[in-house]
Structure formats: C-alpha cells, structure tokens
Amino acid sequence: MTVRLLSIETAVPDTVIRQEDVSRLFAEQPGMTRLGTRVVRSAFAGAGVSTRHTVLPELGTAAAATITGDDAAATGSGGEAAGARGPNEASNGRADDGTTSPHALGRDGAERAGDDAAASPFVDPATRRLRSPGTHARNQLYTEHAKPMFVTAARAALDAAAPGVGLEDVTHVITVSCTGFFAPGPDVRVAKDLGLPADVKRMHLGFMGCNAAFPALQAAYTACRVDPDAVVLVVCVELCTLHLHVRNDTDTIMGNALFADGAAAAVVTARDVAVAGPTLELVDFETTLAPVGEDELAWSVGDEGFEMILGTYVPRIIDDHVTDALAPLLDRAGLSAERIPLWAVHPGGRSILDKVQGRLALTDEQMAPSRGVLADAGNMSSATILFVLERLLRAGDEGTVAALAFGPGLSIESALLRVRPASETA
C-alpha cells in the first residue's frame, strides 16, 4: 500500500518585514543595553533570514519607518512589498525561479493585499516603541488571525488535490499549532467552515513545537494504512510574531531574529487517484529524544506571551546526535545519508543548518530548499517543513527524500519520502 501527499499548499500573511529593518527597530528600543544592541545586530545579521511575514501590519509599519531614502520608496510605507506578494514573488504572481510563491493573506485570512496598520497593543505609533501586551491580548490576536488561516490553507490543499479527492472524501482532519489556543479548536473550525462531513475524525496537536508536522503526518499515514480509503487533511498554522519581546537576553533576541508567521496544509491518502503534479510517497518515520538538551530548547506560557528558550548549545547538540537519530530510519531502508539525493531539513536557524550539512556531508544544492525557505520566510515553527517539502516538490527533482526537524525535548523527528512523478498514481 502506498500512502501519498497529493498536495502541499502554503500561505503567509501579507505584511512583509525585512530583516535589516526589524534589526534596527529592535536595536533602537528603549531599555536595550549597549551589549544587547550589539547582540541584536549580530543575531539578526547571522540568522540567514532576509524577509519574514507577520499578521501585525503595525510591526511592518514601524520597521519600515527605520528606512531612509530610496529604500523607503522601493519598499513602501507598510513594510510590504509592492502588491503584498509572497517571498520572491514577481509581478505575475510567480516566484523569480518560476515556482508558485505562498499565498498572501489579509488580516481576515482572505487572499488580498493593502491592509493599513490597525491599532495594536504591540506598537506605539507615535514613537515606534514596542510594547509588551499580556498573554490574553496576544491570544486574542492569535484566535482572530489563525482561524481563517487554517481554513484558507486547508481549502487550497484540497483544491490542489482535485479532481482526485474532494470535500466529501475527507475522513480525517489533523491540525497543528503551538503559538495559541482556542476551543472549539482549529479542527472544528476547518471541518465546519469547509462543510466537511459531520462525522469527520478530528485531532489537534498543540504545543509540540517546530517538529510537530512529523507526528501529524505519521498519524495521517497510520490512518491511511488502517483504512485505505481514508483522506486526511493536515493543517499547520503558526503565528510566532505574536510572541516577540524586547529584552536583552540572548534567547529572546535569537527568537526575534528567526521566527515568523505562516500556514501550510497537505492532503494525505492511499487512494489510487491522479493529480496534476508530482506527489510525495510517505515511506517511514522515526523519532528520538536526545539524551541531553531538554533545558536548551523549550517553550512555555508566560504572563506576557509565550517564552522561548533557544540555547546557544542547540546546534552543537544536534551536531552530536543527528547521525544516531537518523540511523534506525536509514537502517530499515538499507540506505546511508550519502545515497539519499534530496533533503528537507527544518531551518531552525542558519547555525543548525550548517551543523546538519557538515555532519551529514550534504551539498549546497541539497540544502538549498531549506536555506531558501529560511531566507524568504524565516522559521514558522511546525509549518516550516511543509514549506521546504513544497519547494522541493516544485523543483522537479525525483528520488528519495530524507526530512528532519527538531523540537523541545530535545526531540528529533525524521521521515523518508519518495517523489513520484505526476504520471504515477498509487
């Protein structure tokens, strides 16, 4: 039995923020020490990020206000690229490399552009001083923005899987997020707003962190193995910029330099149906907990939003343990890292990608999808690996894919997949 991802679709909010602008904004904040300002500039410059997207247009406005001269005219007044397009998207709605860019979403989750910055607890518009709202205010914004983003991404993935499957075929919905909460949850919102069958099976994976798409995909894979007629909709939405803070500690600064907002969805099934483009066969999964690092990568609820611990030793821990973490997966397939042509590595940061590339002796070409997503869209937590897989699929290469991501614990999730040409069905 072959279980495939028939489609992967991604979406981003329409406000684009440039890394150099946000770096200046945070470095200029009252309360930043001289050392903290230096750390901000160094961390932002070395993060491997060029642009990110946020559901906070006021953050884009404040960041854009740091631009002077020709840069301001080229970027526009709201921190948004002309037309509020996706990363690297040209005026014809396609990326510069010819691939389709992520959908751009307005404040209500619809695909549109041109929102004015609305009043927000995050920014004083007169001074561009960043405020620190409480967790309740941040979660209200999460609820407002995440609900339509879950539905928009899910609908796009189902549209891309047509005519092979339709709304009436969906048997399971699995939603994923670690950046906010509401109930009835995202699984209910997706089912109701899409008009899915009332008896659709639902699951929400919450607060698992950056690698949560893997257990979601594994749950979808298991459901399809149990019921070959199942059609599983997996949707990840993360609004990380709602948890930005102005502080001098390195963990907070690193999080501010990396994290962004985005959504991704996939349709998984073992049905023997044809779709327009290539698909990804799900082959096998593996998970492991590193023996060290539990305190180096963590995520908790604080009084002023969620608190990220992203220790400087995380890249070193991954470097020490990624080979052992992959060994069971590769051994079952009779493969070694050097025999796998395609790689999708969660871009948790440039230093993490550097360590994985060096340890596994991967080429720059093999790391290009991961580094490209990091540069164009930043780290969108659980949604990010689907952005990487989407980019890899649309590049047109074929063969085995090794995918891996890292999360609290320190947990390492991995999977083997196989690109199947459009002409092949299950």
Active-site residue list: 210
| 395 C-beta neighbours (distance < 10 Å), count | 17
CA-CA distance, 62 to 21, in Å (whole number)? 9
Cβ-proximal residues to 242 (8 Å cutoff; 6+ apart), any chain: 55, 56, 138, 141, 142, 179, 180, 261, 305
What letter does residue 350 receive in the DSSP assignment? Answer: H
- Residue 31, SS3 per DSSP: coil
- Amino acid present at 347: P
Query: How is residue 130 written in tokens?
Result: 């960043």
Quote the tokens at residue 160. 């891309």
Which residues, including other chains, have CB under 8 Å from residue 44's CB and lie 6 or more apart?
19, 20, 22, 23, 26, 256, 257
Q: Are strands 261-269 and 3-13 parallel, antiparallel or unpaired?
A: antiparallel
Cis link prior to 163 (omega < 30° from 0)? yes
Radius of gyration of the chain (CA): 20
| List of E strands, 83-181 | 103-105, 123-124, 129-130, 172-177
Tell me how far apart the alpha carbons of residues 253 and 424 are, in angstroms, rounded to a whole number.
47
CA atoms of 103 and 341, how far apart (whole Å): 29
Distance set, CA 315 to CA 110, 263, 293, 351 (Å): 37, 25, 10, 6
d(CA 80, CA 64): 9
- CA 301/CA 414 separation, integer angstroms: 27
How many Å apart are CA 244 and CA 339, to the nearest integer?
41
